[in-house]
Every structure is written in C-alpha cells, then in structure tokens.
Amino acid sequence: MRDVAALDATAQAELVARGAVSPDELLDAALNAVAALNPQLNAVVLIQEAVARRMIAAGLPRGPFRGVPFLLKDLGCEAVDFPSHNGSRLLANTTYSADSAIYQRIRATGVVTFGRTTSPEGGIGAATESAVYGGPTRNPWNLDRTSGGSSGGAGAAVAAGIVAFAHGSDGGGSVRIPASSCGLFGFKPTRARLPDGPFAGEGWAGMSIDGFLTKSVRDTARMLDACEGPDLGAPYVAPPLGRGHAAAISRPPRRLRVALCDTTFTGEAIHPEVATAVRAAAQLLEGLGHRVEVARPRADVPMMMRAWTDIVAVGTALGIRGALKGRALTGDLVEGVGRGAVAHAESLSPLRYLQAVGEIHAFGRQMAGWFDTGWDILLSATLAEPPARVGRFAHDTTDYVAYRTGPQGIFAYSPFCAIFNASGQPAASIPLGQSTEGLPIGIHLAAPYGADEELIALCAELEQAQPWAARRPPLHA
C-alpha cells in the first residue's frame, strides 16, 4: 500500500472509492501509527478497534469520507460505542445511552471512527495535560512544546499523520489554538452552525461549537457541509448558507477589505516573529488583490474576557458538582484549575451569570458594529507567541481567574481566539507562518456573523497561493 500518511482525508477517500486501498488497510495504517508515535505524543486514547472493524464489516455509509480513519475528541461528541473520560478522572469511563447529533452526522460521512483524542479537564486550557491520561500531550513538531488545547490530542494526531483529520470543539479557541500550534487548518463556524443536542442545549452560553482539525481547507469544507444545520429542538439557528462551504471554495471570493492587526486587539505587542508572520500574510493578501489597511476593532475586550471567565466557571462548576453526586471536591478527582473554577463560580452573585451573558451579547454587537463600518476580514495572529513549552499551562494551580486572565495566563497567550466565540463570528487559523526554531505560527482570519462561506473561500485562496501540505513535523508517520 502506498504511503497515505501525507494525504488529506479527501485523497484517502478517493483511494478507497477507486479500490486502490481498503478501509481495513487504512485502519491498519492508523493503528500502526498510533503504536509507533503515541508513546511519545500521548494523543490517542480509548481505542475501540473492534467497533471500527464491525463498522467496516457492516458496510460503511456512502458519504464523502467513506473508509477514512477518524478520531473523536475526548470531550463531548457523545457516542454509544465510544466511552469517554472527558479529560477528567471524575468522569473516567463515562458511557452514553444515545449518539449525539454531531456524531450521527460525522458517522454518516462514512468515516471509520476508532478512538478518541486527549483534552484538558473541562476543556478550559490552551494546553492538553490532563492527569487522567498520565501525562501531557506533546507537539510532533517539538516534543518539549504543547500541541495546544483543548483539542490538543486531535491536533497532535493529525499533524503526526496518525489520521488525516479529527473532531474537535472550540469554546475559546480550542480548535484554532491546536491548529496554530501543530501547523493545521482550524475553522470555527458561526454560532449554532453545528448541532449541540440532545445532551446540551448550548455550550457555554453559545460560545462553544464543534469543529475539525484538518490538513486541508477542502476537508473542513466537506465535513462542515455534512454536519451543518440545527438538530431537533435547537434553541436558535445560524443564518442559512448559500451554496455551502465546498461550493464556496471552488472559486476565490470577491476582493475584500482586510483590517491588519499585528498587535493584540488592545494594542499590546506580540512575539516579533509572530508579528512578522502576520505582516507577511497581509502582503500575501495584497498580492492577491485584496485591500489591506492597519486597524484594530473597537470593542470592550476586557469586559468580554471577564464575562467569558465567569460563564465558563459557572458551566464548569455545574458539570463538576453534578458528577460529584455529593462527594467531596478533592484533588484526586478534580485538578486544580477545575477546583478553582468551582470556587470562583460559587463566589459570584446569583445574578452574575445572566449579567455576563448580557455582556457577551453586548460585545457581539460591538464587534458586528465595527465590521459594519466597511471591514470584511480581520487579520491577526492566532496566538501571541509560538507554541508554549509543556508545563506552562498545567492545571496545578487553583487560581482559576489568574490562570485565565493573569499577565502570564491563557488570555495573554491567546488574546485573539475567544473574541470570536463571544461574538459568534466565524474565524479560522491558517498555517502560513513558521518560527526560526521551525515551530508553526498560525494566522487568524475572522469575518462578519454568518459569512462562513466567504471566509472559507478566502482560506482556500490562501492555501492555493501558499500551500502548506508538504510541511511535515519531525515526528510523522
């Protein structure tokens, strides 16, 4: 069998469709890559090979990715056949009585799901170092660096060539941060573009949404088209698509007005190599005929960060208290940041949650108003610096607020991503940059609410202009 580790999922599916390779052979290759690479990465967990073989034997759906190996994030995406730790010792070996709507749609694409990928406890970190997995998840570009979070295992598994693409989710950058850290494409759709039910009405007041870590824009576009749309009883829906993501990337978008921000959105300097990569992306866009001007959004970012922190603390506390079932909140069950989140949530006024939701909604209106002054795209870095060293964002501390908003906290490291979870706008990280140490640098693009198709068309245009498919990390299948 030819080497398939470098191929994207669309190309692997084409091999299956032509009979050049079988789904069992692709699964064998993925499992062999897990055996070879996972001891160093610690990215793939809860492997269910028998389930995958049974799916193949029963006949896979005739979807766009028939026969391609696939992994679910070990957080959410509930599935009867795939138990989950949810990144936590408290929730280890959780089983489900029904499949979530997002998994039903993923399964219908014909993928061969065979396991899960690591995530931090509660999904509230920019690194994946959960105690339930016995150690940190590492970056295949440099094992001393984090692969990001909270979809860190997915990012590491795809970058290393274990699978061509994987499920993730994004409540504050959790698809885009691993994409930036691991040299992948990560796209966060408009709020409610993908289904949340039936296990949740919404995630983190609508800020969290599922997504995918992919090697190519086309894989994300096709998977989004297969999964988009509300599930039964959804509390709200995204604006309808026009032609769909896959059709949108078939031709470049109109020439766009792009705001270039090579600082944070509040004007602080970022790592010089990252700022250089942002300016290089701006030059690339100008060369393609887009109009690029220096600008920063006018919106109350500190208010948004405080509100995000409080909403996520309340959501985390609700989940932990429910899972404890009256047991004591102890360190052997819940890590430090989770315990700190519970303490912070329980210190808030009973009125604070709805107040924070109102602030998030106000922030979304501020961002929408700024884009409405004539901007089509906001260009920035994805992270303020190259991928952090393993251990920097460990969950040992119980100071949840400082962990998120302190001078060395998550928001200082990732000041761009959560903005668009709060506003609900579509945003993407594209692997255009690289540091002098050879570490990936993601470039972040955001668009107005509902403009997913125009944004992904721009991403595809950039991919064609500056392809990244040939880049492989040192640790690769």
Hey, which residues are catalytic here? Answer: 73, 150, 174
Buried residues in 45-65 as b, exposed as e (16+ CB within 10 A): bbbbeebbeebeeeebeebbb
| CB 68, CB 13: distance < 8 Å | yes
In terms of residues, how long is the chain? 477
Among 194, 192, 198, 229, smallest CA distance to 99 is for 198
Q: What span, in angstroms and rounded, lies between the C-alpha atoms of 138 and 128?
A: 8
452-465 and 217-227 helices, crossing angle to 10°: 160
Q: What is the 3-state secondary structure (H, E, C) of the chain?
A: CCCCCCCCHHHHHHHHHHCCCCHHHHHHHHHHHHHHHHHHHCCEECCCHHHHHHHHHHCCCCCCCCCCEEEEECCCCCECCECECCCCCCCCCECCCCCCHHHHHHHHCCCEEEEEECCCHHHCCCCCCCHHHCCCCEECCEEEEECCCCCHHHHHHHHCCCCCEEEEEECCCCCHHHHHHHCCEEEECCCCCCCCCCCCCCECCCCEEEEEEECCHHHHHHHHHHHCCCCCCCCCCCCCCCCCHHHHCCCCCCCCEEEECCCCCCCCCCCHHHHHHHHHHHHHHHHCCCEEEECCCCCCHHHHHHHHHHHHHHHHHHHHHHHHCCCCCCCCCCCHHHHHHHHHHHHCCCCHHHHHHHHHHHHHHHHHHHHCCCCCEEEEECCCCCCCECCCCCCCCCCHHHHHHCCCCHHHHCCCHHHHHHHCCCEEEEEEEECCCCCEEEEEEECCCCCHHHHHHHHHHHHHHCCCCCCCCCCCC
Whether the CA torsion 409, 413, 414, 419 is positive or negative: it is positive
Q: What span, in angstroms and rounded, lies between the C-alpha atoms of 293 and 468?
A: 25
Question: How many alpha carbons fall within 13 Å on the CB side of residue 299?
Answer: 27
Which residue in the block uniquely carries the two structure tokens 């391609």?
68
